[in-house]
Amino acid sequence: MDNRFTSSFGDGGGYVCADDSITAEVDGFVVTARLEYDPDSSPREYDADGCCFDTSDPDHGEESAAIIAAWDNDEWHYFGVVLSVAKEGVELDDHAASLWGIEGNFPRKDGGLDNSYFTETANELLDEALDSAKAVLARLIAA
């Protein structure tokens, strides 16, 4: 599948916020991908022996503790990418496809930000969202 979302969240991979959105038009459907905070994910879930934020790890524990502290300070968040689909101005599905638990504004060692994977995720979910909207449209036409 080719990438049909051509714009990026966070101005080309920069800082992202909840409710940021991008739009694509595909076969007469307008698909909007938006970011929502994921209240159910936390780096503390992964602060255990052998997990990715293991603060007891002798080699990486200090770095993991700093990452968790940054999360506690609202410097980065977990988000969901949620796609909605409309046709001719009528919203067919507000939650046609989604993926949750994605790290946004994650603190990188070089101090930069790379949130480009949100757009990649939106493109990966696009076909699922379109299929959902087409099913809704078919039910409406049949009614």
Which token pair is 9? 């969240």
Whether 1 shows a pLDDT value over 60: the answer reads no
Quote the CA–CA distance of 65 and 53 in Å, as a whole number.
7
Its pTM surpasses 0.85: yes
- pLDDT tens for 89-100 read 999 999 999 999
Residue with tokens 């992964």: 46
Question: Residue 96: which H helix or E strand, with range?
Answer: strand 90-104
Confidence of residue 43 (pLDDT cuts 50, 70, 90): confident
Quote the CA–CA distance of 127 and 36 in Å, as a whole number.
20
| pLDDT in the model for residue 111 | 76
| Higher local confidence (pLDDT), 96 or 67 | 96
By C-alpha distance, which of 43, 116, 42, 29 is closest to 81? Answer: 116
DSSP 8-state class, residue 9: T
Mean pLDDT over all residues of the chain?
88
